[in-house]
């Protein structure tokens, strides 16, 4: 049955093209949305760019006809802008009195419900607005086009029980085949049916889908970092494989995501010279209340945001500040920066750049939108490797959640691509206290 969808502003701020994505149904934009887009359009971050893009799309559509009467879309549906009539706004319950933007959107949806023969659905990413709409008898839904099913999140690791002969074949010949469906670059744990202690770690060859043994790591570790569990071994195998230009590492706090990515990057840049530079970036999203403007130049302003990265370099180089080792001894990462082998910066200025022959680590990628991640991945030049790390359960960006953030989006879209590899790290290795806290709290 044909439906009428009333969109909230946050839907267009999340995805401007959403107004064209409802197939042959009718889409209604309350007039208050135009006012809200005008308030957001001057911002320089993602929401501002989306507001400007949505406004441009509406202006282009306006050339086809009247927005108030409705414009025929290529999909077969219509798009129109609806006015909020004062008498409908006054009919809202006393608790919803006032001229707020949410109330105006609710009023438009209620008026359409009373005059339309087809179902009216309010689409909003605002949980509270959906609750209000449901209380008023309206059908309310989230915008879920770009969401993935987190209940079946791809781990990148497959555990298989096989006969001991299969494991022996893998160890002697260096290749074997499995009957199960396999994803490219997927990690595999083989366990013998005759003896559960007889195991082998392997990976899936991306083109033939045959199982091959996991590559051995350097004796001294990767930048002096040794893996502490199977998941970390699998992660380092992906990070050190130059044939895999995209690696995603997802896991709770303390699983070693960022440390492994930085250690592998240093190995490839400083030791092997495979890449010209190690570039590390993270989105500037505060946890909790923002402290406001920070004094100093760009480097000084970024220090509080990038301190978690510096902590990892201190661990790798052994340059932590102690009572007998003052702060001016911390020359590990600073020397690399001076030599041009390391660059640490925010993601604010990534748009428009081309990054060739670089080992690019994007930390805290769960705070990015799918569009922002697309912008980052399309910056990759010839010979560049991109590593996305993050915890989808620790999101500080109010516009995304575990199912709609850019990191989850990339994992789902690239899980069958030979160019990508993914590992879900679940075992915390920071300390016994940190591991228990991530589980219990």
pLDDT at 321 over 60: no
Choose between 278 and 96: higher pLDDT.
278
**What domains are there in the chain, each with its CATH number?**
4-141 (3.40.50.1010), 225-440 (3.40.50.300)
pLDDT at 329 over 80: no
State how far the Cα of 173 lies from the Cα of 411, in Å rounded to an integer.
32
Q: What is the band of 314 on the pLDDT scale with cuts at 50, 70, 90?
A: confident
Across the range 259-275, mean pLDDT stands at 94
Across the range 147-163, mean pLDDT stands at 89
- Residue 410: name the closest of 386, 384, 430 by CA: 386
**Long-range Cβ contact pairs of 157-160 (< 8 A, separation 24 or more):** 157/186, 157/187, 157/188, 157/189, 157/230, 157/231, 157/234, 157/423, 157/424, 158/182, 158/186, 158/187, 158/188, 158/189, 159/188, 159/189, 159/191, 160/188, 160/189, 160/190, 160/191
Mean residue pLDDT across the chain: 87
Q: Residue 424 has what pLDDT?
A: 96
DSSP per-residue letters across 97-132: -S--HHHHHHHHHHHHHHH-SS-EEEE-S-HHHHHH
pTM beyond 0.85: the answer is: no
CB-CB contact of 96 with 103 (8 Å): yes
pLDDT one-digit tens code per residue, 72-96: 999 899 999 998 887 777 678 888 8
Q: Residue 326 has what pLDDT?
A: 44
State how far the Cα of 228 lies from the Cα of 429, in Å rounded to an integer.
7
CB-CB contact of 28 with 70 (8 Å): no
pLDDT at 224 over 50: yes
Q: What is the band of 289 on the pLDDT scale with cuts at 50, 70, 90?
A: very low
State how far the Cα of 339 lies from the Cα of 289, in Å rounded to an integer.
36
Q: What is the band of 421 on the pLDDT scale with cuts at 50, 70, 90?
A: very high
State how far the Cα of 156 lies from the Cα of 165, in Å rounded to an integer.
25
Choose between 289 and 37: higher pLDDT.
37
Residue 186: Cβ-neighbour burial (10 angstroms; 0-12, 13-18, 19+): buried
Q: Helix-strand-coil percent breakdown of the chain, rounded to 5? A: 40, 20, 40
Query: Number of C-alpha atoms within 13 angstroms, CB side, residue 364?
Result: 19
| Cα of 189 vs its chain's centroid, Å | 27
Q: Residue 336 has what pLDDT?
A: 83
pLDDT one-digit tens code per residue, 100-146: 889 999 999 999 998 888 999 999 989 899 999 999 999 999 987 76
- Tokens at 37, concatenated: 């887009």
């Amino acid at each position: 049955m044909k439906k009428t969808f009333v969109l909230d502003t946050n839907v267009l701020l999340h995805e401007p093209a959403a107004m064209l994505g409802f197939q042959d149904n009718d889409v209604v934009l309350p007039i208050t949305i135009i006012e809200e887009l005008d308030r957001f359009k001057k911002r320089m971050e993602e929401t501002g760019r989306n507001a400007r893009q949505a406004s441009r799309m509406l202006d282009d559509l306006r050339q086809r006809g009247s927005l108030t009467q409705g414009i025929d879309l290529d999909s077969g549906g219509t798009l129109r802008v609806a006015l909020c009539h004062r008498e409908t706004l006054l009919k809202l319950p006393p608790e919803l009195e006032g001229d707020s933007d949410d109330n105006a959107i609710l009023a438009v949806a209620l008026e359409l419900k009373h005059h339309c023969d087809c179902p009216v659905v309010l689409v909003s990413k605002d949980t509270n607005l959906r609750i209000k709409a449901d209380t008023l008898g309206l059908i309310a839904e989230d915008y879920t086009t770009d969401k993935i099913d987190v209940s079946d999140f791809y781990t990148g690791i497959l555990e298989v029980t096989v006969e001991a002969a299969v494991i022996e074949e893998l160890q002697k010949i260096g290749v074997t085949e499995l009957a199960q469906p396999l994803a490219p670059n997927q990690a595999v744990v083989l366990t013998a049916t005759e003896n559960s202690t007889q195991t082998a770690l392997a990976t899936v060859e991306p083109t033939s889908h045959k199982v091959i043994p996991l590559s051995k790591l350097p004796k001294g570790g990767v930048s002096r970092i040794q893996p502490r569990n199977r998941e970390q071994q699998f992660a380092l195998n992906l990070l050190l494989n130059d044939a895999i230009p995209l690696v995603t590492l997802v896991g709770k706090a303390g699983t070693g995501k960022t440390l492994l990515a930085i250690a592998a990057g240093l190995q490839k840049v400083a030791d092997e010279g495979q890449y010209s530079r190690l570039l590390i970036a993270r989105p500037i999203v505060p946890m909790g209340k923002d402290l406001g403007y920070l004094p100093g130049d760009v480097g000084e302003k970024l220090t509080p945001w990038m301190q978690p990265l510096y902590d990892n370099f201190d661990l790798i180089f052994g340059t932590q500040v102690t009572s007998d080792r003052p702060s001016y001894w911390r020359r590990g990462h600073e020397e690399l920066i001076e030599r041009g082998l390391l660059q640490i910066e925010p993601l604010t200025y990534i748009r428009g750049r081309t990054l060739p022959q670089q080992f690019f680590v994007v930390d805290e990628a769960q705070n990015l939108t799918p569009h922002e991640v697309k912008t980052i991945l399309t910056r990759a030049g010839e010979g560049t490797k991109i590593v996305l790390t993050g915890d989808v359960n620790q999101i500080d960006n109010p516009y995304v959640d575990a199912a709609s953030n850019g990191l989850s989006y990339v994992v789902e879209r690239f899980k069958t691509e030979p160019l990508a590899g993914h590992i879900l790290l679940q075992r915390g290795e920071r300390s016994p206290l940190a591991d228990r806290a991530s589980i219990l709290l």
